[in-house]
């Protein structure tokens, strides 16, 4: 199993550009999520999905879009990049959501810089 994979590893964008961060998992997990991690702020939830076709907003959803057309993939779209979106982005998956308490498997992260 490859686990959770993320591409690209690094990306530099200019303000106003759009891009998609890719996330895939091969563990047949129902729950997938996107976090951003900033110095001094910890991990903050952007969007999450409890299954194919179902997505919901997390703590900091503005400026980001997601869709979940398959169980395996959960791409994160930046609609119009802003310097405030400079961060490290982590995708995570787990077998189930909520009270199940299943461990989250994290990808290696994408380091994004917006100039």
Partner 1 sequence: SQKIEQNSEALNIQEGKTATLTCNYTNYSPAYLQWYRQDPGRGPVFLLLIRENEKEKRKERLKVTFDTTLKQSLFHITASQPADSATYLCALLFYGNNRLAFGKGNQVVVIP
Binding footprint of partner 1 on the chain (CB under 8 A): 4, 31, 33, 35, 40-45, 48, 50, 56, 58-59, 90, 92, 97-99, 101, 103-109
> Residue 101: left (phi > 0), alpha (psi -120 to 50), or beta?
left
Of 85 and 110, CB closest to partner 1: 110
Nearer to partner 1, 15 or 56 (CB): 56
| Nearest distance, CB of residue 16 and partner 1, angstroms | 28
| CB 45, min distance to partner 1, A | 5
Angle subtended at Cα 98 by Cα 41 and Cα 87, rounded to the nearest 5 degrees: 25
Taking the C-alpha atoms of residue 105 and residue 2, their distance in angstroms, rounded to an integer, is 11
């Amino acid at each position: 199993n490859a686990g959770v994979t993320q591409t690209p590893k690094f990306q530099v964008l200019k303000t106003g550009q759009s891009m998609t961060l890719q996330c895939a998992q091969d563990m047949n997990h129902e729950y997938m999520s996107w976090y951003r991690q900033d110095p001094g702020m910890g991990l903050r939830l952007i969007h999450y999905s409890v299954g194919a076709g179902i997505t919901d907003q997390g703590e900091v959803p503005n400026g980001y879009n997601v869709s979940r057309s398959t169980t395996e993939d959960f791409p994160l779209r930046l609609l119009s990049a802003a310097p405030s979106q400079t961060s490290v982005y982590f995708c995570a998956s787990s077998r189930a959501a909520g009270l199940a308490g299943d461990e989250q498997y994290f990808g290696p992260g994408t380091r994004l810089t917006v100039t």
